[in-house]
């Protein structure tokens, strides 16, 4: 058993409902996206945008 988001969950893995499984609710999790410098190249900005977008969609 492990804790993970449903983002990219393989079809061979199933998510458990914490209430039905008798598990406690997980606390909120904060994430940080760190970059190596204050000036990023366009591919870095694009990747950061994709990561943020995926996480926002998964949270909705």
Cα–Cα distance for residue pair 38/50, rounded to 1 Å: 19
Query: Model's pTM, two decimal places?
Result: 0.55
Is there a contact between 35 and 44 (Cβ–Cβ < 8 Å)?
yes
Residue 59: pLDDT over 80 = no
2-47 pLDDT per residue, tens: 888 777 889 999 888 999 999 999 898 888 888 877 777 899 889 9
Alpha carbon distances (Å) from 58 to 5, 6, 16, 27, 45: 8, 7, 16, 17, 20
44-54 pLDDT per residue, tens: 889 989 988 98
């Amino acid at each position: 058993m492990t804790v993970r988001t449903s983002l990219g969950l393989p079809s061979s893995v199933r998510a458990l409902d914490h209430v039905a499984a008798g598990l406690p609710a997980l606390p909120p999790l904060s994430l940080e996206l760190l970059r190596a410098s204050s000036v990023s190249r366009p591919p870095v900005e694009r990747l950061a945008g994709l990561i943020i977008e995926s996480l926002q969609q998964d949270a909705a």
